[in-house]
Amino acid sequence: MTDAIHSMTGFARCERETPIATLCWELRTVNHRYLDVSLRIHESLRPLEADLRALIGQHVNRGKVDGFLSVQFNDAEQSRVELDNHLLRSLRDASQTAEQVFRGARAPSVLELMKWPGVIRDQRPDTTSLHDDIEALLAKTLTALGDMRSREGAHLATTLLQRCDEIAQLTETIAARRPEVIAASQQRLRERLGKLDVETDPARIETELVLQAQKLDVDEELDRLHGHLNETRHIIADGSPCGRKLDFLMQEFNREANTIGSKSADGITTKATVDMKVAIEQMREQVQNIE
């Protein structure tokens, strides 16, 4: 388990010199619903790909990972030339036969024979000896990537906690406003009934007042918001991969805010609800980048 949340956005680049080549790993990560690894490596290293993917999976839980490995062989390795001796002998024999058929024809020179397709093999240095260095360098690059994602995650955590404090303050504003809102609404109802030139049943009036208070009651929504805030703070403090959990909580935040807004009968409450929705949307955008 890590001690801080991680961003899914990051970049790292590391190099290593070996006796035969210079290795360079580049890793880039962006947000993604699942772990998606894309590697660009030389074809000769394909047998190593499964191990490289497994190593990446040990360090990255979620996100799109683009990895590029550059292998630059030194001059001694690049200058090696290998000939296909069997093909070269066949060309020599064919040349001698052609000389007998075409009297006086000039025999091809050695250089001309070497230019024949396939005589000089496409000699690529053996990369088998580099496997351990490649994996070790990848592990180092993943550590550097993790450090960057951790720093970005710490910034995201700070921002999310600030938004939580804003939402908590807004819920207090709405809660403090609730008794006055209900009282004002009930007073307006009494005044409308008083203007009617009809006899009213006091018991029926009280029933209507109770029903109206129930329609305006947002205590349950405020309690759930407090619960969501506490859970969000707990998840951030825990530090384990939590992007999906937080994404679900953002949906719950929105649901409660929408319900409070639909019950609002007061300008101050409505403004507080709008500000709350803005803060929730800002949180949701930040959560999209959390592993």
Domain shared by 137 and 27, yes or no: yes
Domain shared by 226 and 175, yes or no: yes
List all residues 6 or more positions away from 283 whose beta carbon is below 8 Å from its beta carbon: 160, 163, 164, 246, 250, 253
Q: Is residue 160 part of a domain?
A: yes
Domain shared by 189 and 238, yes or no: yes
Which 3 state secondary structure label does DSSP give 221? helix
Q: Which pLDDT score, from 0 to 100, does residue 262 have?
A: 83
Q: Is residue 37 part of a domain?
A: yes
8 Å CB contact between 15 and 144: no
Q: Which residues pair with 120 in a beta bridge?
A: 83
Q: In this structure, what is the dihedral angle of CA atoms 264, 280, 36, 58, given to the nearest 10 degrees?
A: -120
Using CA atoms, how far residue 274 sits from 171, 260, 267, in Å, is 12, 10, 11
Domain that holds residue 220: 151-287
Above pLDDT 90, what percent of the chain? 53
Domain shared by 105 and 49, yes or no: no
Domain shared by 170 and 57, yes or no: no
Q: Which pLDDT score, from 0 to 100, does residue 216 have?
A: 59
Phi, psi (5° rounding) for residue 37?
-110, 130
Phi, psi (5° rounding) for residue 17?
-95, 135
Helices (H) and strands (E) counted in the chain, each on its own, are 9, 4
Could you report the average pLDDT of every consecutive run of 10 residues in the chain (291 residues)? 78 94 96 94 90 96 95 67 74 79 74 72 70 96 96 94 96 84 65 62 60 67 94 91 92 94 82 95 94 91
Side chain identity at residue 99, one-letter code: E
Q: Is residue 120 part of a domain?
A: no
**Residue-wise pLDDT tens digits, 184-224:** 666 666 666 666 655 665 666 566 655 555 565 788 889 99
Exposure letters 195-218 (e unless 16+ CB within 10 A, then b): eeeeeeeeeeeeebbeebbeebeb
**Residue-wise pLDDT tens digits, 76-106:** 555 455 666 787 788 778 887 877 777 767 7
Cβ neighbours around 243 below 10 Å, total = 23
Domain shared by 181 and 276, yes or no: yes
Q: Is residue 119 part of a domain?
A: no
Q: Is residue 144 part of a domain?
A: yes
Per residue, the 3-state secondary structure of 117-156, as one string, reads: CCCECCCCCCCHHHHHHHHHHHHHHHHHHHHHHHHHHHHH
Q: Is residue 2 part of a domain?
A: no
Q: Which residues pair with 23 in a beta bridge?
A: 16, 71
Using CA atoms, how far residue 224 sits from 167, 229, 236, 250, in Å, is 12, 9, 18, 12
Q: Which pLDDT score, from 0 to 100, does residue 268 have?
A: 85
The CATH number linked to 181 is: 1.20.140
Q: Is residue 196 part of a domain?
A: yes
Q: Is residue 3 part of a domain?
A: no
Q: Which pLDDT score, from 0 to 100, does residue 232 have?
A: 95
Domain shared by 16 and 105, yes or no: no
* Domains: count for the chain: 3
The C-alpha atoms of residue 131 and residue 20 are separated, in whole angstroms, by 12
Side-by-side strand order, sheet with 21-30: 10-17, 21-30, 63-73, 35-40
The C-alpha atoms of residue 182 and residue 217 are separated, in whole angstroms, by 8
| Number of alpha carbons in the 13 Å side-chain half-sphere of residue 244 | 8
Domain shared by 144 and 18, yes or no: yes
Domain shared by 185 and 200, yes or no: yes
Angle between helices 131-195 and 219-238 (to 10 degrees): 170
Between β-strands 10-17 and 21-30, what pairing exists: parallel, antiparallel or unpaired? Answer: antiparallel
Domain shared by 155 and 183, yes or no: yes
The CATH number linked to 139 is: 3.30.230.10
pTM over 0.75: no
Domain shared by 169 and 69, yes or no: no
Domain shared by 241 and 252, yes or no: yes
List all residues 6 or more positions away from 152 whose beta carbon is below 8 Å from its beta carbon: 6, 7, 9, 10, 289
